Amino acid sequence: MPLTRSLEEYLKAIYRIQLKSGRARVKEVAEALNVKLPSASEAVKRLVKEGLVRHESYGYVELTELGLREAKRLEERYRNIQCFLRDVLGLEPSLADRESCLLEHCLSSETVKRLSMLSRHGVRRINT
């Protein structure tokens, strides 16, 4: 079953926390996403059901192999869109970040691939 936008954000947050500190706790995930602890706990339970994370009560949240692959895919998608918005369209980094977060959930894989190709192949920045 495809993940909701919200669950994708939780998965990316867990991935980023693990990259930074090696381990993630539900509390850290809640703080990273600026949500309440019960909301983060419920999302983690749903990710466990999807086979994307492992979690024992009051323990660390750990990405499974499947979860790690999906988190890397989501992160790469986000970065490709962000680079296009920043480097080709010339958006300020903070705006490119916000817009990337919105667009990553609604653009097709083919569109993201083509945006990435434009960014990598030196398309000049659009001057406004």
DSSP, res 98: H
Q: What is the pTM assigned to this prediction?
A: 0.86
- What is the per-residue pLDDT for 58? 85
| pLDDT tens digit sequence for 24-73 | 999 999 999 999 999 999 999 999 999 999 998 889 999 999 999 999 99
The pLDDT of 89-113, averaged and rounded, is 92
- Backbone dihedral region for residue 125 (phi beyond 0: left; psi -120 to 50: alpha; all else: beta): beta
Pick from 5, 10, 4: nearest CA to 63:
10
In whole angstroms, give the CA distance from residue 79 to residue 82. Answer: 5
**List of domains in the chain:** 5-63 (1.10.10.10), 74-120 (1.10.60)
For residue 120, what pLDDT is reported? 83
Q: CA-CA distances (angstroms) from residue 124 to 77, 97, 113, 115, 127?
A: 21, 20, 18, 13, 9
What does pLDDT average to over the chain? 92
* Paired strand residues for 63: 53
Quickly count: other Cβ atoms within 10 Å of residue 72's Cβ.
13
